[in-house]
Amino acid sequence: MWGLHKLNLMYKEIGDDMLHIIELYRRTKKEGVGIEHIIKLLQLANEDNASGILQLERRRKWLIDKIHDLDMQMERAKNYLYSLNNEIACAKYSLDYCHEAYERLRQELQKLYEEKNKLEDVLRENNGNIAE
């Protein structure tokens, strides 16, 4: 009987909010949450608690800001990498061009060297014919 008396006093004090308390009771029972869990949850809600909700919200906001900063850094890094890849492609193209130019010049030099040798041979033959 004492419990009913307390419940009646609580109802007078709480009034229409009693429906919320009943709903809370039903949900905690359904989830298997005991009174000790509810007490711990209320302690966490205490703003003075180092691990309280206010501190957790601040930490959450800080982490979200950090994630945003990291996303921006990653975007800048992607752009930089894209730029470097473009520079590498340009340098490769230039290197290929220089290699082809070098090869053309080497072949031209080889032809000139061969022509020089032929001319020297012709001069030697002509000098030999003149000396006779």
pTM for the model:
0.49
Domain coverage including residue 62: 53-131
* Residue 74 falls inside a structural domain: yes
Give the C-alpha separation, 60 to 51, whole Å: 12
Number of Cβ atoms within 10 Å of the Cβ of 55: 14
* Residue 13 falls inside a structural domain: no
* Residue 40 falls inside a structural domain: no
Q: Which residue has the higher pLDDT, 89 or 6?
A: 89
User: What's the pLDDT score for residue 119?
Assistant: 94
* Residue 78 falls inside a structural domain: yes
Q: What is the tally of structural domains in the chain?
A: 1
For the chain, the residue count is: 132
* Residue 70 falls inside a structural domain: yes
Give the C-alpha separation, 119 to 122, whole Å: 5
Mean pLDDT of 121-128: 84
pLDDT tens-place string over residues 44-98: 776 666 667 777 788 899 999 999 999 999 999 999 999 999 999 999 999 999 9
User: What's the pLDDT score for residue 49?
Assistant: 65
* Residue 47 falls inside a structural domain: no
User: What's the pLDDT score for residue 18?
Assistant: 78
Residues 111, 119: contact at Cβ < 8 Å?
Answer: no
* Residue 23 falls inside a structural domain: no
User: Is the pLDDT reported for residue 99 higher than 70?
Assistant: yes
Residues 44, 52: contact at Cβ < 8 Å?
Answer: yes
Give the C-alpha separation, 100 to 93, whole Å: 11
Give the C-alpha separation, 119 to 132, whole Å: 20
pLDDT tens-place string over residues 106-120: 999 999 999 999 999
* Residue 85 falls inside a structural domain: yes
